Amino acid sequence: MIKHHDIYNDGQWTPSHGTTTSPVINPATDETIAEVVNGTAGDVDLAVASARAAFPAWSQTPPDKRAAFMGAIAEKLVERQEELAAVVTSEMGSPLSFARAAQIPLPINSFAKAAQIGATYEYESDFNGSLVVREPYGVVGAITPWNYPLHQIALKVAFAMAGGNTVVLKPSEMTPLIALKLTEIIHEVGLPAGVFNLVPGTGPEVGEAIAGHPGVDLVTFTGSTRAGRRVAEVAAATVKKVALELGGKSPNVILPGTDLTQAIPAALGAAFINSGQTCTALTRLIVPAEQAAEVEQIAKTAVAAFAVGDPTAETTVLGPLSSRRQQQRVLGYIEKGIAEGARLVAGGPEPVEGVEGSYVRPTIFADVTPEMTIFREEIFGPVLAISTYSSEEEAETLANDTDYGLAGGVWAGDEERARQFAKRIRAGQVSVNEGSFNLDAPFGGYKQSGIGREAGLYGFEEFLEVKSIQQPQAKA
């Protein structure tokens, strides 16, 4: 079993002031595979001081040289991707096939794209005689979740550092092992001391210390809306920029005339991706009332093919949820759906046969109305809620009847019709007829799904301040 008691500070592993640890538990076996120290506010002070000391030199390092470090990290991730995929699977249960296909390739893309953008970006431009300069904020505090533990780190760390910022990272205490592996790689490529710093620990201790620290110039957080509110509240005391990528309860609208044999199996995949533990999962399926019975039959048949089990098995589609706590949370929502009158089409609260661990059966509800809890609250598990509509206007109302606005989907036989409907969904990204996910398009939400954008050029610019330098005008 791994026992880790250090923070990464000023380019080296340093003993933490913390005296307690958090267990890292394999959710497929309930085995404790590691114990990682819970850092302290004092550890955050050290890390922020190192980041501030490193900032002047790093911010003045030529952009192409900063980019070269990001590219080198991407190359090391590629070299070790099989090992890294296994780590993600062991600490949060993502099927190994999905870890290989997404959990590791996505962060590789982030570091590579940050390198590309950072090396070619125009940091200065003319605007009607003024010189507009984009420059790094300073110290970025990054607080990341457990569901895509390396990808969410990369979206913040890669683009922040490429833009000239220094970083203090707190990964989820549930999935710190992949962050430790990334830190090993960062150390190996020789990133200057203090540019990247890691403090493992809990949200109330380390997360709040980062968010409220006067030496942190920008805090970027991904997690629940509840926790995001707390980050914003703590950060407000020092009036720093806050970027938030929060929860979702995203709609997937099936318009009349859609080929249901294509759309419904795809809709299940969009709802159950990463065992439903995806903020952009399309967990509300909104269908024409006259086609509800056909939708349910196709969905019931298709979900039977979703193999649930050992995440290391090549055939597994749905692994365990990330923890027993998450399992009980999701089962509670399933019980509430039944109690509030939703009709089970597939799945339910019964245990998955033949396995131990934090498993939940992929579950589909029909007859779900806006008053029900499973329509309104983010479940973060393999639970799909089907609602019906009688007119396109009602479909739009149902789609937007949510406090969230992270993602959405639209299906139609006429692609242009779907595209026009997509523009009416109040969300940060909407897919049309299962349009491919663009790794470099702006990623973020409307309403209580967050503030700011990540990924690609928009994600890079999120970490840059804008300065106007007013210059003397030439005399006539």
Q: Where are the domains of the chain?
A: 2-246+448-468, 251-438
Nearest Cα to 130, choosing from 465, 470, 466?
470
Q: How confident is the model over 156-203, as pLDDT tens digits? A: 999 999 999 999 999 999 999 999 999 999 999 999 999 999 999 999
Active site residues: 245, 279
Q: Are 279 and 406 in contact (CB under 8 A)?
A: yes
Angle at which helices 63-79 and 81-92 pack, to 10 degrees? 70
Tokens of 334: 């399933």
Which one-letter DSSP state was computed for residue 36? E
Q: Are 34 and 2 in contact (CB under 8 A)?
A: yes
How far apart are alpha carbons 138 and 54 in whole angstroms? 10
Pairing of strands 21-26, 12-15: unpaired
Q: Are 97 and 82 in contact (CB under 8 A)?
A: no
| Interior/surface letters 200-215, b for 16+ CB within 10 angstroms, e for the rest | bbbbebbbbbbbbbeb
How far apart are alpha carbons 38 and 24 in whole angstroms? 12
Q: What's the pLDDT at 473? A: 80
Residue 193, classified by CB atoms within 10 Å of its CB into exposed (0-12), middle (13-18) or buried (19+), is middle
Give me the half-sphere count of Cα atoms (radius 13 Å) on the Cβ side of residue 366. 17
Q: What's the pLDDT at 172? A: 97
pLDDT tier for residue 474 given thresholds of 50, 70 and 90:
low
Place domain 2-246+448-468 in its CATH homologous superfamily: Aldehyde Dehydrogenase; Chain A, domain 1 (3.40.605.10)
Percent of the chain with pLDDT over 90: 97
Q: How confident is the model over 22-80, as pLDDT tens digits? A: 999 999 999 999 999 999 999 999 999 999 999 999 999 999 999 999 999 999 999 99
Report helix, strand or coil for 395: helix
Report helix, strand or coil for 14: strand
Rounded to the nearest 10°, the torsion over CA 245, 156, 89, 208 is -70
Nearest Cα to 38, choosing from 142, 173, 150?
173
Q: How confident is the model over 202-231, as pLDDT tens digits? A: 999 999 999 999 999 999 999 999 999 999
Tokens of 380: 């973060």
Q: What's the pLDDT at 436? A: 87
Q: Is the pLDDT of residue 243 over 70?
A: yes
Q: How confident is the model over 165-175, as pLDDT tens digits? A: 999 999 999 99
Tokens of 350: 């019964």
Per CATH, the number for 251-438 is 3.40.309.10
Q: How confident is the model over 103-149, as pLDDT tens digits? A: 999 999 999 999 999 999 999 999 998 999 999 999 999 999 999 99
Q: Is the pLDDT of residue 476 over 70?
A: no
pLDDT tier for residue 1 given thresholds of 50, 70 and 90:
confident
Pairing of strands 251-254, 407-411: parallel
Q: What are the phi and psi torsion angles at 300 (to 5°)?
A: -65, -40
Percent of the chain with pLDDT over 70: 99
Nearest Cα to 279, choosing from 448, 471, 27?
448
Give Rg (Cα) of the chain. 23
Q: How confident is the model over 414-469, as pLDDT tens digits? A: 999 999 999 999 999 999 999 988 999 999 999 999 999 999 999 999 999 999 99
Q: Among 54-63, 78-87, 232-241, 348-357, whose mean pLDDT is lowest?
A: 348-357
Tokens of 46: 């050290």
Mean pLDDT taken over the chain: 97
Residues 235-246 have a mean pLDDT of 97
Q: What's the pLDDT at 214? A: 98
